[in-house]
Amino acid sequence: MLRIYDTRAGHVETIEAGRAVRMYTCGPTVHRPAHVGNLRTFVLTDVIRRVMERQRVRVVACRNITDVGHLADESGVDKVAAQARAEGRSPREPAREHEQAFVADTAALNLRPPEHAPRASEHVDLMIELVAELVEQGHAYTVPDGGVFFDVRTFPSYGEISGNQLDALRPAHRIEAVDPRKRHHADWALWKPGDGELTWDSPWGRGFPGWHVECSAMSLRFLGPRIDLHTGGIDLRFPHHENERAQSDAVTGHEVVRHWVHGEHLLFDGRKMAKSTGNVVLLSDVVAAGLDPLAVRLAFLEHRYRAQLNLTWDTLRAADRTVRRWRTRVAEWSESVSAPMATAYAERVESALDDDLDTPSALRVLRELERDESVAPGAKFETFLHLDQVLALDLASDIGKPRVLPPGAAELLEARERARKAGDFAASDLLRDELADIGVRVSDTAEGQVWS
């Protein structure tokens, strides 16, 4: 069974799966395109799903779309509305466009679509019901202007995910004074008064739900009161997931989520990917650079999900070369005599994946198999395709395609042939390595060099 690091428990735990596992993932806020840093979390969720499905466990996944006013910019204005205003459009128009782009990106990365993908804007009624129940149970309180706040002191175990103790929490450094409407500075808004297109009528007046409410309301609606796995980026651990846990557990009276799993930050060229630093890279930028989008997936798999990843263009180019080389190898092996899968190698890869998703070790085993001349090509073919059910790198996509040299390869082959004729075998070996880097394997025969 899959063993994975549970953030709340603080150690690796075994996922005790029955016939089905219910998994919730905090989805994108569609006020702008998702960059590759955002996408890392969703690749993590997909790998978890594929590993569990390999173990014949059905996964029921829910991933929301945040398309209403939950996130505010520094001026306190909703980000979706602010972006739409800047573009001179209705807030719903850019939200739908960014949502469609996000779905296209997930498809390009071979992410299995979730069974449920609810939009927050279409389920505000669920959020109002949840807030009303929390007020009735004494976990929330109303204020004169029509706002509603969660009373954090009614939830004694607050802070178990992030390790933040309630009595040690202080107001955020950017807040000059504690909101006088709050009973405790760590209380958060469940309903905010307001007017405009992204607002709704409620028992407390017109307004919109607080950011944290949507995940509680929609996860409980679509997955029920017992959720096996909740995934998200490490930046959501506090306060979002702490607040979500408090809301869900308070309204149900029990621990809703069994395991909390978080993926670490992605850096690009050593800096956090952000608009302010000017290093935002979209998946479309990767494709425009002539790289396969699945090179991004492989680059993620080359690192542990719990470790920060410093992505660079060199890293992506190297991953692109590996993806293309493996596809070429699989196409070559497909023409060989059929042979049983290399079980020992497959078991080592699967064992690494079960061990807290140790994808770097799994990939090292695959490279070892690729080089192992004692394993029949047909066995390599069966093993790579079997494991690609989890890796999802489309390794069979070159089967049946005519073999065409990649750009620059013909010139390298000619240079190598001249080096061999001149007896410069050191140069010949270097050129062989260069060709291997772009996916061309060269062998020397009595008739001269041949390539594949």
Q: Where are the domains of the chain?
A: 3-263, 292-391, 409-451
Q: Binding residue per annotation — 26?
A: yes
Residue 32 burial by CB count (10 A; 0-12/13-18/19+): exposed, middle or buried?
Answer: middle
Q: Looking at residue 74, what is its pLDDT?
A: 46
Integer Cα distance of 277 and 269 in angstroms: 11
Mean pLDDT of 131-138: 98
Q: Looking at residue 401, what is its pLDDT?
A: 80
Q: Binding residue per annotation — 370?
A: no
In this structure, of 4-18, 114-128, 143-157, 161-175, the range with the lowest mean pLDDT score is 161-175
Q: Are 183 and 153 in contact (CB under 8 A)?
A: yes
Percent of the chain with pLDDT over 90: 74
Name 196's Cβ contacts closer than 8 Å, sequence gap at least 6. 81
The first and second tokens of residue 225, run together, are: 């009161």
Q: Looking at residue 443, what is its pLDDT?
A: 77
Alpha helices, H only, 343-421: 343-354, 359-371, 377-391, 409-421
Residue whose token pair is 């019901």: 129
Q: Looking at residue 278, what is its pLDDT?
A: 77
Q: Binding residue per annotation — 62?
A: no
Mean pLDDT of 131-157: 97
Name 240's Cβ contacts closer than 8 Å, sequence gap at least 6. 26, 211, 212, 215, 232
Q: Between helices 36-54 and 343-354, what is the axis angle to 10°?
A: 120
**pLDDT value at 364 more than 80:** yes
Q: What is the pLDDT of residues 106-130, one digit of tens each?
A: 999 999 999 999 999 999 999 999 9
Mean pLDDT of 120-144: 97
How distant, in Å, are the alpha carbons of 40, 108, 119 from that of 317?
17, 17, 35
pLDDT level of residue 351 (50, 70, 90 thresholds) = very high
Mean pLDDT of 24-44: 94
**pLDDT value at 73 more than 60:** no
Q: Looking at residue 76, what is its pLDDT?
A: 53
How distant, in Å, are the alpha carbons of 124, 272, 405, 423, 428 from that of 415?
66, 42, 15, 12, 8
Mean pLDDT of 289-302: 96
Mean pLDDT of 299-316: 96
Q: How many CB atoms lie within 10 A of CB 139?
A: 21
pLDDT level of residue 274 (50, 70, 90 thresholds) = confident
Integer Cα distance of 6 and 452 in angstroms: 45
Mean pLDDT of 72-88: 65
**pLDDT value at 32 more than 70:** yes
pLDDT level of residue 173 (50, 70, 90 thresholds) = very low
Domain 292-391: give its CATH architecture.
Answer: Up-down Bundle (1.20)
Topology of the domain covering 3-263: Rossmann fold (3.40.50)
- Whether pTM > 0.85 for this model: the answer is yes
Q: Binding residue per annotation — 244?
A: yes
Q: Looking at residue 25, what is its pLDDT?
A: 98
